[in-house]
Amino acid sequence: MQALLENWPLWLQGMGATLFLTAVTTLIGLPLGILLAGMRVSPVAALRVLATVWTEVARNTPLTLVFFFTAFVLPRLGLILDFQVGAVIALTYYTSAFFAEAVRSGINSVPIGQAEASRSIGLGFGQTMTLVVLPQAFRSVLPPVINVIIALVKNTSVAMGFFVFVLVSVAQRLSNSYGDQALEIFVGIALSYLIMTVPLGQLVDHLERKWSVQR
């Protein structure tokens, strides 16, 4: 751990970069996932097909391949992006599908009678989703959404292979200078990921216990 302690500004920079990438992706990907989930249960067939194709392709495509597309294919098509912007796009596309499935599972947990009652009083599909279904689905949606964010924190490490500085990049840089401490460095980086993800996991457990008691 001596190498990390001696280079703690670099370590903090890596932690900050990982958290920033996670936060930006969540702020864009979660609303997109909610939109996709709404499209999946929409009465409009075209929207259902579009959302289904988006989620199924994203969920079944390796994240590394998505990064490769944004880093090397898009520039060939004339769209040149900053590497960090490309990382946000890749992570957002990939993660939005998992957010969408988490939200859709919550929507499906709401009794169908709630939507039927909303329509009977004249509410449209959008109003039914935003005013009736999503508020009731919140409890069942939040734990899986947090689990997706936990996976996202770890998935940001893929960005290192595409010229984006993240926490894993710290291990790569320090191992080149402190070769005899490589094992300790990688253990320290692994513990750093635990520092970010374990509290989120504990939050999920707490919410599930709390809400199960209330039910």
Predicted local confidence at residue 214, as pLDDT: 54
The residue ranges of the chain whose pLDDT is under 70 are 1-3, 5, 179, 211-215
- Sign of the dihedral defined by the CA atoms of residues 157, 160, 162, 165, in that order: positive
Predicted local confidence at residue 133, as pLDDT: 81
Predicted local confidence at residue 24, as pLDDT: 96
Predicted local confidence at residue 139, as pLDDT: 78
Instruction: Return the ∠ at Cα 200 (arms to 196 and 202), rounded to 5°.
Output: 120
Q: Do residues 11 and 192 make contact, with C-beta atoms less than 8 angstroms apart?
A: yes
How far apart, in whole angstroms, are the C-alpha atoms of residue 213 and residue 168? 40
Cα separations in angstroms, 135 against 60, 112, 185, 193, 208: 30, 14, 44, 32, 17
User: For 37-89, what is each residue's pLDDT tens digit?
Assistant: 989 988 889 999 999 999 999 999 999 999 999 988 988 888 888 889 999 99
Cα separations in angstroms, 205 against 138, 200, 202, 208: 16, 9, 5, 5
Predicted local confidence at residue 209, as pLDDT: 77
How far apart, in whole angstroms, are the C-alpha atoms of residue 145 and residue 204? 9
Q: Do residues 15 and 192 make contact, with C-beta atoms less than 8 angstroms apart?
A: yes
Predicted local confidence at residue 212, as pLDDT: 59
